[in-house]
Amino acid sequence: MDTSGRARAGASSLLHVKGLRAGYGRVPVLHGVDVWVGEGEIVGVLGHNGMGKTTLLKTLMGLVPATGGSIHFDGMDITRDRSHQRARLGIGYVPQGRGIFPMLSVRDNLRMGIAAHGADDEVAAIDRMLAEFPQLERLLDRPGGALSGGEQQLLALARCLVSDPQLLLLDEPTEGIQPSIVDMIEDKLRELATERGLSILLVEQNLEFITDLSDKLVLLNKGQVAGVIDRADYADAPLIAEFTGLNSRGGSAKAAPVATNGATPATNGAAAPTRGADPFALHDPIQRLARMTVQRPTFAQMKSITEDFGMHLSDERIREFMGLMEASIKHYDTLDQMPDNLPPVVYPRTSGYRPTADENPYNAWYVKTDIKGAPRGALAGKTVALKDNVCLAGVPMMNGASTLKGYVPDVDATVVTRMLDAGATIKGKAHCEYFCFSGGSHTNATGPVQNPRKLGHTTGGSSSGSGALVAAGEVDIAIGGDQGGSIRMPASFCGIYGMKPTHGLVPYSGVMPIETTIDHTGPMTGNVYDNALCLEVIAGKDGLDPRQYAPRTDAYTAALGKGVRGMRIALVREGFGRPESEVVVDETVRRAGDLYRKLGATVDEVSIPFHATAMAVWLPIAAEGGTNQMMRGNGMGTGWKGLHTTSLLDYHANWRSRADELADPLKITMFLGEYFQRFHRGHYYAKAQNQARNLRKAYDDMLASYDILMMPTTAMRAPPIPPSDAPLGLVVQRAFEMIENTAPFDVTGHPSMSVPCGMVDGLPVGMMLTAKHWAESTIYQAASAFEAAGDWTRM
């Protein structure tokens, strides 16, 4: 066995990686990796999920910066070269998930590869690729998103190979594709290596595929090389069993020790076999994976499943069940070969770019774009930012989380399509909090989002970037999300207008869920008109969202300018004078009530006692439900019909291998939710959902006599952002201290809007207006009357 990791005998080294270190922000992933790839050599990288395999390829391609070590390609040091420079030198990259443009045709996808490398004769280049991959010829005019997984992988390979790279970096090429195309890809890669000298560095979890194809395997464990196994020793290597869960028989193979001093372990001089020789012919065979679309369970996996269910089965009984399961799993094979059923992506766009610090003074942008919608429509001329939990096809999305960084959606959320249809221009993705579980703006993995009204203070969360961009005047409209107040709290702290519509009024399809019964999405704007106009565009049933039970829409802009004479407004006593309340906030909102009286409304103080304890209803739903659906359910969970964004589900599942990176407010929520689910059977989640009906009734009873319920949106103005070395208690406090008034209406689903009503010491105060289900027009009527009464910053 070759334990040095050097290129096979007779092959000169094309890629030489030494002591490579890399990671995401402050989180290291690669810890001194050494890899050599020879000319015409195929090297497989094997390891569990989360061990750094994909990060290795991204670092080699220049998509993740190296923090240490060196990368030499064809004798040149490329460690600091950008990704496009590496591509020009002859490195090609096909990412996991293929990275094709779903809205473009196969022909245009190939043209993108040609344009990126400046080929002179486009027609000849396409013809050359069709000769290599004749299966694509009949698909030339079909959108990339309509192809099967296997066809997409062939397209991704063809688009990469059109530039004649010397080295191909290939990430999980067999994932989710039919067996016939797996065979085809294997044959093509072997041909490219043997006949054309293409070198390939391959990440793959299909053991049969990677062992059939590779000259050697590099075993990666927690960002370090745990061993290098030569082809001749595959059948004898216990490390393969360790890394795959498959059993092996025969002699033992020695793994390369991880070098700690930068020295390269010495080779044992093992000769490499001829490419194509059967590594299993001279040894007892590894228990091999059947080449099928869906990976079959290993015995170890099945044993673990039975134990998790509290069952005590003999090994023989488990194997008997496994045999009987095969017929059922074949149905999964059939399903896996079907193309996904996703809404079409209509409007062209590029993937955007990460703005510089000068372009992003508040750290509010994640990605900037310039996606133009229809030439005419209600939102023509309006600029929009999307909270970064809203899918925008082809544009990166991280939802504030380091563990999701690198994900690129393949669908547009319904709200995106509707705004583009109405003529809006989408200017980019706005940073949000770590998986949206913070009412402060200090948990995003890239750093805190600053409040444009007063730097050093929170914008509120979790739609933190959305609030900042509207307040700074960088966009007209931002889309936010609200499960506990995450539209209204940033609106309050930033001094803008934020509407949480009635639950189900605006389709949530294509937005990353937290918990279906409290998920809301809606507009954040600098004035009432833009807010009402945007809601007119995005509201209404889309047939893809189970949250939408007979939504009733309205012409919301028609309510503006009607005044409030005759309107009845209830100041809810329990929303004032809370333990966390600032006196100046209560006073400012009460003055707003006085102004409404002057404008002709009846304003009374009322009591809704349940509001004071409503957090006892919201918390189990958010903590237990969010842990189940967003985290354990990989964002989707089960039990509902509608649009399941499978690409997001697959990518988000990676959080388990990087769970230490999760933000502390999210961790404490998960601890709470998991404890009550695991040790209290989910009893309190169920009871909270039952109590939610009583809570809604408490508000509805008061709304039978009043048009609007009014109280402070947040009991305080925007507090300071906690320092980077803040104690855990302060980090958690700053995430949840402001949600007591907003969260109850996520449970009950009432429409609720934050309206700026005063400025104290440079920090805005927001009042919250809440109405009956589907009565958004009533709220807009009241909000526009207050807006027209004068400059809120001087009230």
Tell me: the pLDDT tens digits for 392-414? 999 999 999 999 998 999 999 99
List the beta bridge partners of residue 372.
425
Distance of CA 484 to the CA centre of its chain: 20
Q: What are phi and psi of 439, to 5 degrees?
A: -90, -5
Q: What is the pLDDT of residues 78-102, one digit of tens each?
A: 999 998 889 889 999 998 877 788 8
CB 199 within 8 A of CB 38: yes
Residue 259 has pLDDT above 80, yes or no: no
Q: Find the helix or strand (DSSP H, E) in which 763 lies.
A: strand 763-770
Q: Which residues contact 788 (CB under 8 A, 6 or more apart)?
A: 561
Residue 116 banded pLDDT, cuts 50, 70, 90:
low
What's the mean pLDDT in 292-316? 90
d(CA 678, CA 672) in angstroms, rounded, equals: 10
Residue 345 has pLDDT above 80, yes or no: yes
Among residues 459, 739, 439, the alpha carbon closest in space to that of 580 is found at 739
What is the length of the chain?
795
Residue 121 banded pLDDT, cuts 50, 70, 90:
confident
Q: Could you tell me the pTM of the whole model? A: 0.70
Known catalytic residues are: 387, 462, 486
Among residues 66, 271, 88, the alpha carbon closest in space to that of 164 is found at 88
Q: What is the pLDDT of residues 205-258, one digit of tens each?
A: 777 888 889 999 998 888 888 888 888 777 654 556 554 443 333 333 333 333
Among residues 15, 181, 171, 198, the alpha carbon closest in space to that of 93 is found at 171
Q: Under DSSP, is residue 478 helix (H, G, I), strand (E, B) or coil?
A: strand
Cβ neighbours, 10 Å, residue 200? 24
Task: Report the amino acid identity of residue 447.
Answer: G
d(CA 117, CA 94) in angstroms, rounded, equals: 15
CB 486 within 8 A of CB 461: yes
CA dihedral of residues 594, 598, 601, 603 (deg, nearest 10):
20
Residue 142 has pLDDT above 90, yes or no: no
Residue 271 has pLDDT above 70, yes or no: no
Q: Which residues contact 372 (CB under 8 A, 6 or more apart)?
A: 347, 420, 425
Q: What is the pLDDT of residues 697-709, one digit of tens each?
A: 999 999 999 999 9
Q: Which of 222-231, 420-429, 652-661 has the lowest mean pLDDT?
A: 222-231
pLDDT of residue 696: 98
Residue 113 banded pLDDT, cuts 50, 70, 90:
confident
d(CA 536, CA 549) in angstroms, rounded, equals: 18
pLDDT of residue 25: 79
Residue 118 has pLDDT above 60, yes or no: no
Pairing of strands 752-760, 763-770: antiparallel
Residue 747 has pLDDT above 60, yes or no: yes
Query: What are the extents of the domains in the chain?
Result: 1-90+165-255, 97-150, 299-336, 365-794
Q: Domain spanning 365-794: which superfamily?
A: Amidase signature (AS) domain (3.90.1300.10)
CB 48 within 8 A of CB 243: yes
pLDDT of residue 3: 36
% pLDDT > 90, the chain: 69
Q: Which of 183-197, 482-496, 537-551, 716-730 has the lowest mean pLDDT?
A: 183-197
The residue with greater pLDDT, 267 or 710, is: 710
pLDDT of residue 119: 52
d(CA 145, CA 159) in angstroms, rounded, equals: 15
d(CA 485, CA 679) in angstroms, rounded, equals: 29
% pLDDT > 70, the chain: 90
d(CA 136, CA 100) in angstroms, rounded, equals: 14
pLDDT of residue 115: 61
d(CA 387, CA 795) in angstroms, rounded, equals: 30
| Class of the CATH domain delimited by 1-90+165-255 | alpha beta
Q: What are phi and psi of 306, to 5 degrees?
A: -65, -40
CB 384 within 8 A of CB 521: no
CB 468 within 8 A of CB 450: yes
User: What six digits make up the tokens of 490?
Assistant: 């940033």
pLDDT of residue 270: 33
Among residues 711, 752, 693, the alpha carbon closest in space to that of 505 is found at 752
d(CA 2, CA 200) in angstroms, rounded, equals: 18
pLDDT of residue 249: 31
d(CA 632, CA 726) in angstroms, rounded, equals: 29
User: What six digits make up the tokens of 534?
Assistant: 């945007």
Residue 265 has pLDDT above 50, yes or no: no
End-to-end CA distance of the chain: 79
d(CA 244, CA 247) in angstroms, rounded, equals: 9
What's the mean pLDDT in 502-520? 98
CB 373 within 8 A of CB 424: yes
pLDDT of residue 293: 63
pLDDT of residue 262: 35
Domain 1-90+165-255 shares a fold with domain 365-794: no
CB 430 within 8 A of CB 478: yes
